[in-house]
Amino acid sequence: MAYYGGSSNGLIVSFGEMLIDFVPMVSGVSLADAPGFLKAPGGAPANVAIAVARLGGNAAFIGKLGDDEFGRMLAGILNENGVSTDGVTFDGGARTALAFVTLRADGEREFMFYRNPSADMLLAPHELNFHLIRSAKVFHYGSISLIVEPCRSAHLKAMEVAKDGGALLSYDPNLRLPLWPSAEEAREQILSIWEKADVIKVSDEELQFLTQSSIVDDESAMSLWHHNLKLLLVTLGDKGCRYYTKARNEGKTWRSRGGKREWGQKGCGSGTTPWGGGGGKVGAGNWGTATGERVTGGKAAGGGDLLWQ
């Protein structure tokens, strides 16, 4: 499905994990107390690709899935939503990643991951579709693909090729501490590629983690600024989102309208996508100029997780 040659929109390529989320059939319970689970597609980079395509953009996904029923199902969902799968590979020896996840009654999310290793962790540099990467106007990624080799090397190589091709680099760390060997390792690796990104999105919780401070304000956000950065977004849950640009010394806020979380929605799945809440045309020339309109579809539409149900 080679969409990237036939559209006038700039191609947005998402790189990283795609997996199956298992969510409880009832809300507000722990994983142990759940009477049953429903399966749903998950993975923050894949969510972004779907959101871009649903907004009329030109999207592709790069990642590795298991050569199993779940992997083929996920690839099919990408295709059904108009996302190019030319960058998707399959592993015959490893399974597609699974995540059991719930939003408990106390408002805390609970995760249990099955990836020992999963196929997404085994993507190697030589398996990358370099033509697809060089075609990107925006190259979007997270940090989960930095955790282990060979996927880490594939991630770094893909970033290098995309940057050399003139792409805008977009980074959403999407911190998942249970997947990392330690908090210190997570912080070090997330920040190791920080200064290469042109656009960065963090949640308020990630801001606190990276700055090692309990304070969420303009000063703490700007401590993460670097000279190559064009746009920094800090999502604030139901309070909206603050954004920072080179032209602004203090943040401006997008606030939720009509009591609905539009940017910064905190869903319960394994990957949140604030980019999915940005209305308007999502071509490369309009990145970061979203109007805040909601994306319809899914239980947490407009920046939440279960975007494709």
pLDDT in tens, 265-279: 334 445 545 555 443
Question: Taking Cα atoms as reference points, which of 169, 219, 221 lies closest to residue 198?
Answer: 169
Which residues, including other chains, have CB under 8 Å from residue 279's CB and lie 6 or more apart? 55, 290, 291, 292, 293, 294, 295
Segment 199-218 shows an average pLDDT of: 97
- In degrees rounded to 5, what are phi and psi of residue 234? -125, 110
Average pLDDT, the chain: 83
| SS3 state at 88 | strand
State the pLDDT confidence band at 107, using cuts at 50, 70 and 90: confident
| Pick from 56-70, 147-161, 239-253, 279-293: least confident | 279-293
pLDDT at 12 over 80: yes
Q: Of the candidates 119, 184, 128, which has an alpha carbon nearest to the alpha carbon of residue 156?
A: 128
Interval 46-68 mean pLDDT: 97
Q: Are 162 and 136 in contact (CB under 8 A)?
A: yes
Residue 125 lies in a domain: yes
Alpha helix (H) ranges present in 117-255?
130-134, 151-164, 183-192, 204-211, 218-222
Average pLDDT rounded to a whole number, residues 169-190: 97
On whether residue 168 sits in a domain, the answer given is: yes
Does the pLDDT value for residue 242 go beyond 90? yes
Is 309 inside any structural domain? no
Flag whether 235 is in a domain: yes
pTM: 0.82
For residue 297, being part of any structural domain is answered with no
In angstroms, the CA 273 to CA 276 distance is: 5
Predicted confidence band at 114 (pLDDT cuts at 50, 70, 90)? Answer: very high
Q: Which domain holds residue 243?
A: 3-286
293 inside domain = no
Residue 110 inside a domain? The answer is: yes
Residue 142 has pLDDT above 80, yes or no: yes
Percentage of the chain lying above the pLDDT 90 cut: 73
Is 243 within a domain? yes
Q: Residue 284: pLDDT above 50?
A: no
Q: What is the CATH number of the domain that holds 68?
A: 3.40.1190.20
Q: Which residues of 175-193 are buried (b: 16+ CB within 10 A; e: fewer)?
A: bbeebbeeeeebbebbeeb
Higher pLDDT: 32 or 302? It is 32
Q: What is the pLDDT of residues 190-203, one digit of tens each?
A: 999 999 999 999 99
- How many structural domains comprise the chain? 1
